[in-house]
Amino acid sequence: MYTQGLDAAGADARADSAASDDEAALLQRFQRRVDAEEKIEPKDWMPERYRSTLIRQISQHAHSEIVGMLPEGNWITRAPTLQRKAILIAKVQDEGGHGAYLYSAAETLGVSRDQLIDQLLSGKAKYSSIFNYPTPTWADVGAIGWLVDGAAIMNQIPLCRCSYGPYARAMVRVCREESFHQRQGYDIMLRLSQGSAAQRRMAQEALNRWWWPALMMFGPPDADSTHSSDSQRWKIKRFSNDELRQKFVDFTVPQAQFLGLTVPDPELRWNEAAERHDIGAIDWREFEQVLKGNGPCNAERLAARRSAHEQGAWVREAASAYAEKRRARGASRAA
Amino acid sequence: MQTERDWPLFEIFVRARAGLDHKHVGSLHAADAAMALEHARDLYTRREEGVSLWVVRSSDITASDPADSESLFEPARDKIYRHPTFYAIPDEVKTL
Ligand SMILES: [Fe+2]
Ligand SMILES: [Fe+2]
């Protein structure tokens, strides 16, 4: 999902073997609390591996929200109506907010905001593969809201019950805002699919572009993802990649049918016995390439993020100077 | 001069409606308290979540240590006589 890098880096994600009897006892107590659905809070004892897994997961999630503003931000100046423009600004602003909530949650684990931002800007940090795809038409904005935010919701709802308190609380706030994102996207698709032949074609082409990348958002198939066991034992992750992907497909296919659009998968079938949709093979090589930095827009996204950061430097400096001036004034008045 | 790199962390509290307590909602970085208020407004009240904001520097909060939680809070557990349900009052006695 927004933290697919975890799956790729899964090989080293094993629980620390307990270093001492003391630690073994702490670990046992920790696991008992997690099993009892108690939340773990920042100052509580936690295994180092729990801490590092969460820092990686939450920061990757935060970076995804921040980079996720770019593909849609691209359309703010070209939205077809003033209302669509206002809606899109509100949506993109929400994503920035999601990034801010999540960076704060990561910081409670002992990493600084500046470190996290450096990791993103230096290209060291991972973010979701999905934001490395282009948005050539207005219909892509609709497809993103409908499919990408839809997939995100599927992943984020179980995270509201994650064992780490600050992450769970951030997710509750995020989920409250996501539903609007998905609905505004579907609304765009609905209008296009009821429009002219050219508009319907635009909607279909956007679905063709986003369908497979959206399915890849859930990460590698369960058979290949080695990291899950710790995350599941620690109740960070409650459903497997394939379970969430299946649920997404089952929810989304009827929504596409309602739009009169065709899901671009010739092997897609309703499996009566299993009561689910069977899908064709996902091209995991494409996924690997995008994660490695070779997707259609990886370089462009990072460059846009860096230039936004650099071009904002004077604003941050001015804010610091202004705060300093106010402090000095307050001090001289007090003297 | 303080640079952006050491902007302190502020904890944000929102009063949802007049008459309710301010409730902790999260945190953010800002150059000073005035800026923290402006950012809190954008970050935590985009959908009329509140009518009033408090911002407090995180470093100004003194928190209890989770390691002390047994000694701090468990002594209250066996004092069930502090709750009205501890007392069995005959049914005949009304409005008590
Ligand atoms: Fe988001
Ligand atoms: Fe969203």
The reply to whether residue B46 touches residue A94, judged by beta carbons under 8 angstroms, is: yes
Instruction: Please return the burial class of A193, using the count of CB atoms within 10 Å of its CB with bins 0-12, 13-18 and 19+.
Output: buried
**How many residues can be counted in chain B?**
96
Distance from CA of B29 to the nearest CA of A (A): 9
Percent of chain A with pLDDT strictly greater than 90? 88
All domains of chain B in start order, with CATH: 4-63 (3.10.20.520)
The reply to whether residue B1 touches residue A321, judged by beta carbons under 8 angstroms, is: yes
Our measurement of the distance from residue A76's CA atom to the centroid of its chain's CA atoms, rounded to an integer in Å, reads 21
Distance from CA of A207 to the nearest CA of B (A): 31
B4-49: per-residue pLDDT in tens?
567 999 999 999 999 999 999 999 999 999 999 999 999 999 999 9
What residues of B are in contact with residue A100 (Cβ under 8 Å)? 28, 43
CA dihedral angle for residue A148, residue A154, residue A156, residue A158, rounded to 10 degrees: -170
B52-64: per-residue pLDDT in tens?
999 999 999 999 9
**pTM of the shown model:** 0.91
A116-126: per-residue pLDDT in tens?
999 999 999 99
pLDDT value, residue B2: 46
Q: What is the mean pLDDT of residues A7-26?
A: 58
Question: Looking only at Cα atoms, what is the longest distance across chain B?
Answer: 74
Single-letter amino acid, residue A218: F
What residues of B are in contact with residue A316 (Cβ under 8 Å)? 4
Q: Which ligand is nearest to the CA of A95?
A: 1
Are the beta carbons of A226 and A237 closer than 8 angstroms? no
pLDDT value, residue A227: 63
Percent of chain A with pLDDT strictly greater than 70? 93
Rounded Cα distance between A188 and A138, Å, is 9
A43 part of contact set with chain B, CB < 8 Å: yes
Task: Give the phi and the psi of residue B54 in degrees, each rounded to 5.
Answer: -120, 140
Interface predicted TM-score (ipTM) over 0.90: no
Our measurement of the distance from residue B1's CA atom to the centroid of its chain's CA atoms, rounded to an integer in Å, reads 33
The larger pLDDT score, comparing residue B96 to residue A262, is at A262
Rounded Cα distance between A121 and A63, Å, is 10
Ligand 1 ion: Cβ-proximal residues, 5 Å cutoff: A 65, 95, 98
Instruction: Please return the burial class of A204, using the count of CB atoms within 10 Å of its CB with bins 0-12, 13-18 and 19+.
Output: buried
pLDDT score of A16 more than 70: no
Are the beta carbons of A141 and A153 closer than 8 angstroms? no
Beta strands (DSSP E) in B2-93 are: 9-15, 22-29, 52-57
A163-195: per-residue pLDDT in tens?
999 999 999 999 999 999 999 999 999 999 999
Confidence of residue A228 (pLDDT cuts 50, 70, 90): low
